[in-house]
Structure formats: C-alpha cells, structure tokens
C-alpha cells in the first residue's frame, strides 16, 4: 500500500474543492439565501456524519435534505416518520418465501447511501431507536444476521420543535449520533421573493440533476481523513467538550463521541477551506452545531431560558486557545 505524501493530499484537495463546489452549487439552486446551512450540510457529508435539521414547518427542511440527496448520483430512500411506524418498517424484515420454503430478508429503506428521515420525532422512541445501530456502526442486525450498509451512508433527518403537537423528544442516545444540528431559519425578504419566482411555477427539485457520484464522495471522504490535526488542536477539542461536562448550567455534558465528531467535522471544514490541517478556528466555528444538541440544560438554566447554544458559545470565548496552530 502506497504511503500518501503531502503532494497527494494537495492534489486531493484540488479535486475536493471542484466536486464540493458542484454539489454546493446544485443545492443552492434549490435553497436560496442559506449558504452557511448548505456548507454545514456538505461538511457533515464529508465527515461521514449524520445531519439533524430542526425548525418549524415550511422553512425548507425537507427541501434541503432532498436537494443534498439528489445532488449525488447514489441510492436515496425517504422515510416519513409517523406514530404508527414500526422499527421493521425502517430496517427490513425476514419474510417466508413459499417457493423457496425458507425465510428471506426484505431490506428496509435504511439500505441506501442517503436516508432522508422526514419529521423523525413524530415516531415513537422505539421506532427512532431502530436507527441507532446503522448510524453508529453502518450495519443492521435482523433476526441475528448482520447486514453491512454501503458507503457513503448518511442519515439526514428533519424534526419539528418539541413544543409542536404530535412530537416525541429524541432520546439522548439518538441525538448523540447526529454529527450536527442546524436550523434553517426564515429567509430574508430578497431570498423569499426569489423563492416565489423560482418555486411559483414548479419545484426546482424537478430540474436538479446529480453532479457527483457515490464513488466521488467516497474519494473525498478519504481525502478528509488525511487532513492533519496537531496535538495541541486535539487537546483544544477535548478542553471544549470537557468544559460542557463541568458547566453548572448543564446537567448533561457532551460525550466522547461528541469529541470525535467535532474533530471529524473540523477536518472536513478545513478541507473545504483548501487546508490540509485543522485550525482552532475550525473547532470554534463548528462547536455550536456539533455540541449544543447533545446537551441538557439544568433546571435553573431552563427557568432563565438559557439555551445550550448560548452556553457553548460562551465556552468558545472562555476556553484558552492553543498557541501552536500546527505541529
């Protein structure tokens, strides 16, 4: 096996920038006025992560998920989560074949490169938990048999705020498996006006064609894995996560998995910025979307309406930044 050199990753970054630009352009042709949201979605894809999109209905959550899925020529399945959805409706089921006189496995919608889970928190926690194994281990176990999922594998889930009718809070273990959570937010008036012009006659998704292949994404992921993370930067990531575990306004801090996801996302963020090394700035920019959804505020913080996002932002300002930015 050949050892990668600095020149190899340099050429890889050139290719990454070209393909990533095409994917980003395709998504932005559908999602107007949200470049930061699109960039974060692409970061999560290249970090081999999963994305949770949370906001009120009608702001484009599902549109973003579908645009990302259609921009890459790979297998895509959509699951509409409802209260009566069963775990086997997601993972698949073993059914008896009368002709063969044996049980055969019927794969569920999770057997795809990109799985779009619409309104994930409308299903019961039992059904939500069907995604735990596949999101973490990229495999599904049914009736004692394990089936490996094809890479790349990404879950893009949308959810409505918990305060809305007919929703179940995502279990802590489920939230922890999502690399990042983003909110779409309302568009500015200019973007909303453009949306009326573009979306008024037909859905822009109808004209969206793939601009990359699944094999391209796998190659980009390999490039991201080779992005260098210096030891001081690793310690800085650990310091940020550890600070959430000791904060008086939080009754549940971030897990070691959160540290791993933060560093993986920082590698992808650096690569998208045409760098083969991670800076503390990458960690700072990603800290809120990667960490905040994993945290549970204390009772006092809830009374004072202190959101975990505010706590993480404060920690980014307070935790000392390492002096050496490479090493």
- Range in 5-14, 61-70, 135-144 the model is least confident about: 5-14
List Cα–Cα distances, 164 to 48, 58, 64, 160, 168, in angstroms.
30, 14, 21, 7, 9
In angstroms, the CA 268 to CA 283 distance is 11
Tell me: cis bond preceding 320? Omega within 30 of 0 counts.
Answer: no
Report percent pLDDT > 90 for the chain.
48
Helical residues (DSSP H) of 171-230, grouped into ranges: 172-176, 189-199, 214-225
pLDDT band at 4 (very low <50, low <70, confident <90, very high): very low
pLDDT, average across residues 229-243:
96
Interacting residues of 41 by C-beta distance below 8 A, sequence separation 6+: 27, 51, 64, 68, 156, 182
Q: Is the pLDDT of residue 52 over 90?
A: yes
- Secondary structure of residue 220 in the 3-state scheme: helix
pLDDT band at 181 (very low <50, low <70, confident <90, very high): very high
Residue 145: both structure tokens together: 């048999």
Instruction: Supply the pLDDT for residue 323.
Output: 73
pLDDT band at 166 (very low <50, low <70, confident <90, very high): low
pLDDT band at 172 (very low <50, low <70, confident <90, very high): confident
In angstroms, the CA 13 to CA 7 distance is 10
pLDDT band at 275 (very low <50, low <70, confident <90, very high): very high
pLDDT, average across residues 26-44:
89
pLDDT, average across residues 159-163:
70
């Amino acid at each position: 096996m050949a050892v990668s050199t600095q020149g190899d990753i340099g050429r890889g970054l050139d290719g990454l920038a070209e393909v990533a630009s095409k994917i980003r352009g395709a998504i932005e042709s559908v999602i107007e006025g949200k470049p930061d949201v699109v960039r974060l979605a692409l970061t999560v894809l290249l970090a081999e992560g999963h994305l949770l999109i949370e906001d009120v209905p009608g702001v484009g959550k599902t549109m973003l998920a579908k645009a990302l899925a259609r921009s890459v020529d790979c297998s895509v399945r959509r699951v509409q989560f409802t209260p009566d959805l069963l775990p086997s409706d997601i993972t698949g089921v073993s059914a008896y074949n009368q002709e063969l006189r044996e049980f055969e496995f019927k794969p569920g919608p999770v057997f795809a490169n990109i799985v779009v889970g619409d309104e994930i928190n409308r299903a019961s926690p039992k059904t939500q938990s069907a995604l735990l194994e596949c999101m973490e281990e990229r495999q599904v176990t049914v009736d004692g048999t394990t089936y490996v999922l094809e890479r790349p594998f990404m879950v893009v889930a949308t959810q409505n705020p918990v305060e809305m009718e007919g929703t179940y809070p995502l279990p802590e273990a489920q939230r922890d498996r999502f690399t990042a959570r983003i909110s779409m937010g309302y568009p500015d008036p200019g973007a909303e006006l453009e949306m009326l012009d573009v979306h008024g006659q037909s859905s822009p998704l109808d004209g969206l064609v793939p601009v990359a292949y699944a094999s391209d994404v796998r190659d980009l992921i390999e490039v991201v894995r080779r992005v260098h993370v210096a030891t001081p930067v690793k310690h800085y990531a650990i310091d940020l996560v550890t600070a959430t575990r000791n904060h008086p306004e939080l009754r549940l801090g971030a897990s070691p998995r959160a540290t791993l996801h933060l560093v993986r996302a920082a590698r992808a963020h650096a690569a998208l910025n045409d760098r083969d090394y991670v800076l503390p700035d990458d960690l700072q920019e990603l800290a809120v979307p990667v960490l905040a959804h994993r945290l549970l505020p204390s009772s006092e913080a809830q009374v004072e309406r202190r959101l975990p996002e505010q706590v993480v932002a404060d920690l980014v300002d307070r935790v000392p930044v390492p002096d050496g930015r490479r090493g």
